[in-house]
Each structure stands twice: as structure tokens, then as C-alpha cells.
């Protein structure tokens, strides 16, 4: 009887051990692995567009700026014309257009030997031309002498073949006269204004031969586009 009890107890222990071993050996359910969310790499900023270095060729002309027949404008009854060179012609044209008595303006090239020069031709510094400004004005409102007074104040007439950062004979200072009266007035004005400068005035006073209007995109440039450099490649 005792043997049967011991045999039964031994059998039960064996079963329990076997069950325990099976449970212990069972692989636990794997916990759900959270999907690793890899942050997207920040996109690199788009490279900045290169600066438009060819400043004097705007992509479009302001359509509100009317075309002008300059040959007719210079014939305005009672009007006179002053032709001046004082560096890059953009800024002087803009300033003179604000002056009471100025009827119209035109920028162009004069003083050289090349016929019908382009802006790029002039920028080679081989044509002899200067960037110049023609001003049609009403002498009853503003006189030629007063135009010259503004001329001396708008630039540094003591600089030779340059104005500020713009260097070359095309940026020289000059007064191109159309008659003896203008020639006399220009010389007297230069002598009078010399007293205002410590250095000698470099402005040349010469007779106007031919004035070549600049390309249309240069006319009233600041009115069309605003600002900019005066040299190709800037």
C-alpha cells in the first residue's frame, strides 16, 4: 500500500515538472515592435539665384514709358538744348527730369569717333565717346547758366576719366556746346565754379559734333527699373 502511494506521488511530481518545463520553455509572445519613425532629413535650402550682374539690360521695359521722337522734341519752339557728360548717365537724367523748366531728356554717346556706337562698344573704352545727357529746356523758366550750375553740383568735375567707382574715358566730365553763346557761358561758368573746388576742374568744353541716342532700355532707366550699376559685368 505504501508503495502505491509513493508511486502515485512520484508520478504526480514528474507530471508537474514536465508541465513546468514546457511552460518555461515556451517562447513568450513577442511584444509588438513599435515601428521606428525615422525623421526625414531636412531638405537643403534652394541655392540663391545668382545676382544679375548685367545691370544695364533689364528684362522688360515699362510699357507706361512712352516712345519719343527726339528729333521733334529738340525742335520744340523756344526751347534750347544742353549736352552734358557727368559720369554714368542714369542718375543725372533722373535728377534733371525733376527740374522745373526741363521739357525732356535723352541719354546717349558723343565726343568720339565711332559711328553709331552701342553701349557695349562704348564700354570697351576705345570709341572715344562719353556717356552724355541732352536736356531740352525752356529758357524762360530756367537758363543755360542755371543748368550748368546744377551740372557742377551733380558730380565731381575734378575727377579725370571717372566718376566714383566708374572708371574710363566714357565717364569723363564734359560740356558739349552747340553755339558760340553756349561756349562763352560754359567757360565763364567753369571759371566761376573753380573757386568752389580745391582741385582743378577737369571738365572739357568742346563743340558738339554728333549725338548718338543710347539704346531705348537706357532712356529714363531709373523710371523704368530703378537703380543699378553703370558698367557691364557689375
Q: Kindly state the average pLDDT of the residues 23-30.
A: 41
User: Closest by alpha carbon to 112, among 121, 102, 103?
Assistant: 121
Residue 111 included in any domain: yes
Q: What is the dihedral of CA 221, 225, 230, 234, to 10 degrees?
A: -160
- Exactly one of 21, 88, 123, 230 is catalytic; which is it? 88
Domain count, the chain: 1
Residue 19 included in any domain: no
Residue 169 pLDDT more than 70? yes
User: Any idea which of 45-49, 66-70, 84-88, 111-115 has the lowest mean pLDDT?
Assistant: 45-49
Residue 157 included in any domain: yes
For the stretch 201-226, pLDDT in tens is 999 999 999 999 998 888 877 777 76
Residue 7 included in any domain: no
User: Closest by alpha carbon to 92, among 139, 137, 133?
Assistant: 133
Q: Kindly state the average pLDDT of the residues 58-71.
A: 45
Residue 83 sits in a domain whose CATH number is: 3.30.1060.10
Residue 41 pLDDT more than 60? no
| pLDDT confidence band for 69 (50 / 70 / 90) | low
Distance CA 44, CA 192 (A): 62
What range defines the domain where residue 210 resides?
A: 70-224
Residue 4 included in any domain: no
Residue 218 included in any domain: yes
Q: Which of 8-17, 20-29, 221-230 has the highest mean pLDDT?
A: 221-230
CB 129 within 8 A of CB 111: yes
Q: Kindly state the average pLDDT of the residues 32-45.
A: 44
Q: Kindly state the average pLDDT of the residues 152-160.
A: 96
What pLDDT score does 224 carry? 78
What pLDDT score does 71 carry? 63
Q: Is 123 a catalytic residue?
A: no
Residue 191 included in any domain: yes
Residue 144 included in any domain: yes
| pLDDT confidence band for 74 (50 / 70 / 90) | low
What pLDDT score does 14 carry? 41
Amino acid at each position: 500500500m505504501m508503495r502505491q502511494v509513493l508511486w502515485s506521488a512520484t508520478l504526480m511530481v514528474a507530471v508537474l515538472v514536465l508541465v513546468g518545463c514546457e511552460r518555461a520553455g515556451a517562447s513568450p509572445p513577442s511584444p509588438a515592435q513599435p515601428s521606428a519613425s525615422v525623421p526625414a532629413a531636412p531638405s537643403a535650402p534652394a541655392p540663391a539665384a545668382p545676382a544679375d550682374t548685367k545691370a544695364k539690360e533689364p528684362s522688360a521695359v515699362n510699357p507706361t514709358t512712352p516712345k519719343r521722337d527726339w528729333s521733334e522734341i529738340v525742335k520744340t519752339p523756344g526751347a534750347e538744348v544742353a549736352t552734358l557728360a557727368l559720369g554714368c548717365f542714369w542718375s543725372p537724367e533722373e535728377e534733371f527730369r525733376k527740374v522745373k523748366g526741363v521739357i525732356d531728356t535723352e541719354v546717349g554717346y558723343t565726343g568720339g569717333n565711332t559711328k553709331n556706337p552701342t553701349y557695349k562698344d562704348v564700354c570697351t573704352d576705345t570709341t572715344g565717346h562719353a556717356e552724355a545727357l541732352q536736356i531740352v529746356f525752356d529758357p524762360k523758366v530756367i537758363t543755360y547758366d542755371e543748368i550748368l550750375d546744377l551740372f557742377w553740383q551733380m558730380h565731381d568735375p575734378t575727377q579725370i576719366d571717372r566718376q566714383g567707382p566708374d572708371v574710363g574715358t566714357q565717364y569723363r566730365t564734359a560740356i558739349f556746346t552747340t553755339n558760340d553763346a553756349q561756349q562763352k557761358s560754359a567757360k565763364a561758368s567753369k571759371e566761376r565754379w573753380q573757386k568752389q573746388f580745391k582741385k582743378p576742374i577737369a571738365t572739357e568744353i568742346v563743340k558738339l559734333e554728333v549725338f548718338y541716342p543710347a539704346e531705348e532700355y537706357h532712356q529714363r532707366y531709373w523710371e523704368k527699373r530703378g537703380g543699378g550699376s553703370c558698367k557691364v559685368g557689375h
